[in-house]
Structure 1
């Protein structure tokens, strides 16, 4: 999203300027805003689209806004002038506009505009307004363009009108609206050029007939460069998929079973089969690559660099760093000896919370966006499938550590059952490649240490326990 590509109009600039003081206060309070803890220095319009005119009883503005914030350098790292001037994150905002806000929308208030094109108007989070949320569904039902926005749909998917919308409160990095317990619209808040994997991957899986992932019924994008004509060139903004009514979140289900002392290995094995089915469909739908010596060494080196950075930031990790490093050195050594691996598109952030179990026992996998903090190009890179396996193994450990005492045997049983289920479909147990599995599980644990230290210090002991295990004997199946 370069400056030249977007060329915001004078009207868009003036409109955003009128919202500026309100957004400075409102944005940092949103759960999906990634720039918390740093002041906002400027807002820059990327695109402003009136989906419903402000002259209507309730107007709807669609904004793509770049946020400028000062970059805080790492400790002892100088910040050069070029880095300080890098463009900030771009966010998707849907702003409702009314003269007065009815009482039922009071919690959605952003503020009252006093200057500029919106002077005298009240602006609010549009997703809480059923009328405006319903308008979004109507736009998705009828493919076409509206300004820079492009609405598309699978014409074989029946999308009825009049479905009652309700926003979900549990989202973190994005926002979702459920329509009549039939569809769910996921809106990507922090957006970058290129299709979001959470649209791209489900589309490919649907074409493969993979029943493990809800198939997109409709989606919308923004064409932000002159001549942008394909999905790959556009900026993905949202995807409408079937809503799995009555489905249980895998994380909550695991915790409930654990709390009751009930077995979870049957579900873990079923999850392993579901994961392998998705991997097989992705390998059939999208290109695979071979990781040879050079590529394996690069992967191992990147893992080692992440370990060094995490150990510098989290002192509690330092005693385990030498032992953890051996996991990456062993991977590089195998690559140097001529060992190669196949890489493909994967989920990228697989854990129990990304899995839903329907009342009939069918497991679905959702949220293919990957780790949102990573660059889009990195999230779309082929990876060894064991990366997803490692993420799920770590998730079983996390579940086992929610109670007192930690349920080490429960986690070990679930981890083993998951790998057996994976082998049921893939024909190969991930544990038969211990060096590759240990490297990826170690890399995931290092990521978790850094995340917990920054965001949830009370949870830091969980990934540190994994670091201690993985640094000790190198076994991916040892006790917690």
Structure 2
């Protein structure tokens, strides 16, 4: 196995051209593909690395490819997002790999072979773990690890099949490897922030064990992160829905989750620089919120009657900034909600997935921001859980929101409810985003954020 992952890179002439027609059909169907609704017109290679030799019983190709799509329907093709693909190739797929099928290649270097998403297959999973364990280098691919953490060989890999914006492989019950699908150059917060928190000995975030990089044209791309797997952990969203369905109180868990959030924020403020947001920075922040409101009201007519009330939330924040009020900004989670939290069997909460909102540019995701932004995201998540019940349970949400804020204050984070203007502005901005998302993708869910819109528009 170690011999396979230390082979030199092979730039395979014609490989991408032979895969092109198959990838055009397969890629848009993937949950993690960001360009849905626009046709894929072609691909350009960024890197191609052979991890297992082609033509044998099993070949394994690591590809970074840029998908060409029109920016809007009817526009000319445009080199768009770069995606990480692990392509396996065999003469024929065994039945257990049927869900992984990409297609049958008819021309080029892989003609006559069947290609598939290799993450469904344990053998390629073994190759990746061995590369991380041995700190291998394969062409532009670089596998690094924390030498103080042991990585045992022989752990059986299995793909996590739940819908995700990336892909994850669990090794035994020891590690989980998150492979980023949409790749951008630069320091990815999904590796940067957990490493910083590990240096601060913050137990609320699993410390990275190893990570996978690509060095291309004087730029580094983060491709994946291996972290300890929390065996038996409950996803915060699923746990909340389960307790809600049973009519159980979730206030204690919400309070504990607030404490966990405050501990992470405090550790991040120690580990990385903080900044002060003054009038000029707040003006830009408010302008962005107002622009998003105007665009949302244009796109979703249901929102228009509430626009003046929603705008008042942003005007109130601008008013405080004009009076000389300042706020501290620091590195935060950036996309915090119940689904980004895990509760261990011992009852400890952990925060995961520090990538931020994948649709945002990397530079924006790495900017210091007020901690209230994370808090607003979690408060909205409690609302979502409560309104997914039949009938909706707004009192349950109110209890959870209050308990979460109280827990946050208990852990030294300061009670976010005392900064009501900033909190209302961020929660309003989040609800507006949710309205647009649901109107486009899940119209049946539109009443959930609209209930928050009505409340926020009427707030003083």
So what's the TM-score if we normalise by structure 1?
Answer: 0.92
Residue of structure 2 equivalent to 1:87? 79
Change (3 A) 1:427 1:97: closer
Residue 198 of structure 2 corresponds to residue 206 of structure 1: yes
Residue of structure 1 equivalent to 2:374? 388
Measured against aligned partners, the alpha-carbon deviations of 1:420-463 in whole angstroms (never above 9, x if no partner) come to 00001125200001100000000110111111111111111100
> 1:202: how far off?
0.6
> 1:38: how far off?
1.1
Q: Secondary structure at the match of 2:14?
A: helix
Residue of structure 1 equivalent to 2:363? 377
State the distance in 1 between where 2:298 and 2:93 align: 50
Measured against aligned partners, the alpha-carbon deviations of 1:366-387 in whole angstroms (never above 9, x if no partner) come to 0111111111111111100000
Aligned match of 1:350 in 316, 327, 336?
A: 336
Q: Secondary structure at the match of 2:205?
A: coil
Residue of structure 2 equivalent to 1:50? 50
Aligned match of 1:310 in 296, 307, 314?
A: 296
Measured against aligned partners, the alpha-carbon deviations of 1:389-429 in whole angstroms (never above 9, x if no partner) come to 00000011011101222211111111000000000112520
Structure 1 residue runs of 4+, over 3 Å off? Answer: 9-13
Name stretches of at least 5 consecutive residues in structure 2 with no aligned partner: 1-8
Measured against aligned partners, the alpha-carbon deviations of 1:148-197 in whole angstroms (never above 9, x if no partner) come to 11110000111100000100011321000000011000000001011221
Residue 35 of structure 2 corresponds to residue 30 of structure 1: no
State the distance in 1 between where 2:432 and 2:98 align: 42
Residue 89 of structure 2 corresponds to residue 97 of structure 1: yes
**Match runs of 1:128-147 below 5 Å:** 128-147=120-139
Q: How many residues align?
A: 452
CA contact (8 A) 1:12 1:45 kept: no
For the aligned residue pairs, the C-alpha RMSD in angstroms reads 1.5
Residue 264 of structure 2 corresponds to residue 272 of structure 1: no
> 1:100: how far off?
2.0
State the distance in 2 between where 1:120 and 1:391 align: 50
CA contact (8 A) 2:41 2:77 kept: no
So what's the TM-score if we normalise by structure 2?
Answer: 0.96
Q: Secondary structure at the match of 1:116?
A: coil
Residue of structure 1 equivalent to 2:325? 339
CA contact (8 A) 1:113 1:121 kept: yes
Change (3 A) 1:113 1:405: same
Q: Secondary structure at the match of 1:166?
A: strand
**Match runs of 1:277-316 below 5 Å:** 277-316=263-302
CA contact (8 A) 1:13 1:44 kept: no
> 1:332: how far off?
1.0
Residue 170 of structure 2 corresponds to residue 184 of structure 1: no
> 1:86: how far off?
4.8
Residue 113 of structure 2 corresponds to residue 121 of structure 1: yes
Change (3 A) 1:468 1:13: farther
Change (3 A) 1:86 1:26: closer
Residue 440 of structure 2 corresponds to residue 454 of structure 1: yes
State the distance in 1 between where 2:88 and 2:379 align: 43
State the distance in 2 between where 1:383 and 1:368 align: 14
Q: Secondary structure at the match of 2:37?
A: coil
State the distance in 2 between where 1:304 and 1:56 align: 58
State the distance in 2 between where 1:143 and 1:171 align: 30
